[in-house]
Structure 1
Amino acid sequence: MKALFSLIVVLVLAGIAYAGAGLAHLQFIFGVVIPYLALVLFLGGFIYRIVKWAKTPVPFRIPTTCGQEESLPWIKQNKIDNPSTQLGVFLRMVLEVLCFRSLFRNTKTELREDENGPKLGYGSSQWLWLFAICFHWSFLIIILRHLRLFLEPIPAFVTVLDQVDSVLEIGLPALYITDVLFIGALLYLFLRRVVIPQIRYISLAADYFPLFMLLGIGTTGMLMRYAYRIDLVAIKEVAMGLVTFNPVIPSGIGSLFYVHLFLVSSLFAYFPLSKLMHMGGIFMSPTRNMINNNRRVRHVNPWNYPVEVHTYEAYENDFRDKMIKAGIPVEKE
């Protein structure tokens, strides 16, 4: 029901855009006003969340570690999994952000039956890592490819990405490799939540909704490229108008483009409120961005503030006579 509810919401959003731009002729609303509003909500929400996280005190030094801590000289330290320097933290973050290093270690746990009864077993499970990295890198490349619509002249690296992405030269126009990987990875992430009972049990509508939104964006984008030919010149005119704050709405673009643009705008507006904020949150996570130097440097709790204290000396001065009568030892007679 959670997945069905999320799917219905995405279909309703697509229907609103189709009806508004195609039937009610509100192209300016869906092509200019809503994208600008979504961008403001995205930037404002993103900055607010990052600033809020940055201001949150960290009372303990809590880096997650997976290897040997810096210790005696003859004990080999794992300088990336248990960093004791800023360089080690930087390398760890780079591998985490670009390669999903911690996810690569993903293991599955299950009870296995043998002649001695059930036994707890561990096994490697890198499928999630593989499809996650395919999705994220494909998404990044697709976004970079779209820069050709917003920039003039088109940067050289965008042209190179376009050529490499379509190197298989399948069909006309050529099929992009990242389009296939993007949709395939999203389908795997969706099926994983539906098929595996434990993951289905903990999945919420907020977990399904971004998947369906991204599937809707990818599907409408592929339909515009491979099925329903859209005027790319007119689309670039719209994109350049938005970037230069001189919006224009050419005629004859087609309702499918506005559905695609409205889904993208909805995702942008929803982004700061969702779990998708892990894109910025990974850099603010104390389990990743802190040095593990507890033995050398005392971590001072930033929540500490001066308070009035009652020392033991003052306590003894107040109750010395009573303590002596009760037989309690005192430091001063």
Structure 2
Amino acid sequence: MNALYSLFTVFALILIALLGAGALGMHTLFGIVIPYLAIALFFVGVVMKVIGWAKSPVPFRIPTTAGQQLSHSWIKHDKYDNPATGWQVFVRMAMEVLFFRSLFRNLAVQRFGSTEDGVDMKVRYASAKWLWLFALIFHYSFLIVFVRHFRLFTNPVPAFLTGIEWVDGFLQIGAPTLYITDVTLVLGVTLLLLRRILLPQVRYISMVNDFFPLFLIMAVACSGILLRFFAKTDVMGIKEITMGLFSFAPPAQLPEVGVVFYVHLFLVCVLIAYFPFSKLMHMGGVFLCPTRNLANNSRAKRHVNPWNDPSIKAHSYAAYEDEFREKMIDAGLPVEKTVEQAETEAQ
């Protein structure tokens, strides 16, 4: 049902654009007003999120680790699964952001064997590299498609954008050229959708806010492909609109570019406005996540919470033992110093 709700919502958004920009001819609303509102919501939402994260206290060193911490010289330290310095954290973050390293290490859990009552007895772990691969394909395809669209906002088009387009379309299939990322983006989001729909364990924990962005991105990609290959579109008219938006000088009379363009633009605007308030914001959140951006050096360096009340004095373990030593001994708890040793040192 969560998937159906999300799908119907995306269809409703498409219908709104078709009626508003097509039947009612509200081109100014869908071509100028809504894009500016979406961009404003995006920046306000991102700033609010970042400020909220930055104001969250981090009382302890809480990095997520999967390897041996820095310890004795004769114990091998896993530098990038359990970083101890800022440089090691930087490398770990780069590998996470650029190559999804933690997802590459992901394992699928499988149960097999059963008792007479039908209860599973054993659990085994298998590689799930396909999820890492399609997630990588999806994200990089999305990035390249996003960068390619900057040709609509620049005149003349920078050489690096022309180079990206040439590499992306070097197969030269069809006319206009079919870009590789057009196919891989749709393929990647399709596989991620099917994973949430077909795998019972994933479907059980998937909510509307898991399905909706995937269906929305699929609609954006498909409407863009329709706009490029099937709809008769005035590309120069589209560039006139986008250049005007980018320079804050939109044309007073928008050129006729077809209703498909306004559907595509409206879906993009919804995605932009929805981005800061959704799970898509993990793109920025990963950089402010204390489980990733902190060095695990709590044994070598004391981490002092900057939000601590300065009027509250720290209570060290030595002071704690001095206060409760006799009670600890009576309770059978281990102590570093006996009562006699403590009295001798005090004298």
TM-score (norm 1): 0.90
- Aligned CA RMSD, in angstroms, stands at 2.0
Q: Which letter maps to 2:267? A: L
1:196 and 2:195 aligned: no
Structure 1 gap segments, 5+ residues each? 317-330
Counterpart CA distance in 1 for 2:114 and 2:87 is: 47
Match of 1:78 in 2: 78
Runs of 5+ consecutive residues of structure 2 not aligned to the other structure: 324-342
User: Which of 256, 275, 288 is 2:292 aligned to?
Assistant: 288
**Map of 1:263 onto structure 2:** 267
SS of residue paired to 1:302: coil
State the partner residue of 1:68.
68
**Bigger CA drift: 72-81 or 3-12?**
72-81
Name the SS for the 1:209 alignment partner. helix
1:108-123 aligned at under 5 Å gives the runs 108-113=108-113, 118-123=121-126
Name the counterpart of 1:212.
215
2: distance between equivalents of 1:57 and 1:251?
Answer: 52
Counting only pairs closer than 5 Å after superposition, residues 1-333 of structure 1 correspond to structure 2 as 1-113=1-113, 118-248=121-251, 249-307=253-311
**Deviation (angstroms), 1:153:** 1.5
Displacement after TM superposition at 1:75 (Å)? 2.1
Q: Which runs of 4+ in 1 moved over 4 A?
A: none
Is 2:27–2:254's contact at 8 Å kept on the other side of the alignment? Answer: no
CA distance in 1, matches of 2:111, 2:160: 50
Cα gap change, 1:250 to 1:306, in 2 (>3 Å): closer
1:189 corresponds to which letter in structure 2? L
Counterpart-to-counterpart distance in 2, 1:150 and 1:169: 24
Identity %: 52
Cα deviation digits, residues 216-256 of structure 1 (max 9, x gap): 10000000111113111111100100011110253320000
The one-letter code sitting in structure 2 at the alignment partner of 1:160 is G
**How much has 1:146 moved relative to structure 2?**
0.3
Give the Å deviation of 1:94: 0.6
- Offset of 1:205 from its aligned partner? 0.6
Aligned length in residues: 314
Take 1:60 and 1:15, find their aligned partners in 2: how far apart are those partners?
50
Query: What is residue 333 of structure 2 aligned with on the other side?
Result: none
Q: 1:187 to 1:152 in 2, by over 3 A?
A: same
Distance, in Å, in 2 between the alignment partners of 1:308 and 1:218 is 56
Counterpart-to-counterpart distance in 1, 2:187 and 2:259: 26
Distance in 1 (CA, whole Å) between partners of 2:312 and 2:160 is 62
Please list the CA deviations of residues 121-171 of structure 1 after superposition, one character each: whole Å capped at 9, or x if unmatched. 111111111111101000000011001000111111110110111111111
**Alpha-carbon offset, residue 308 of structure 1:** 6.5
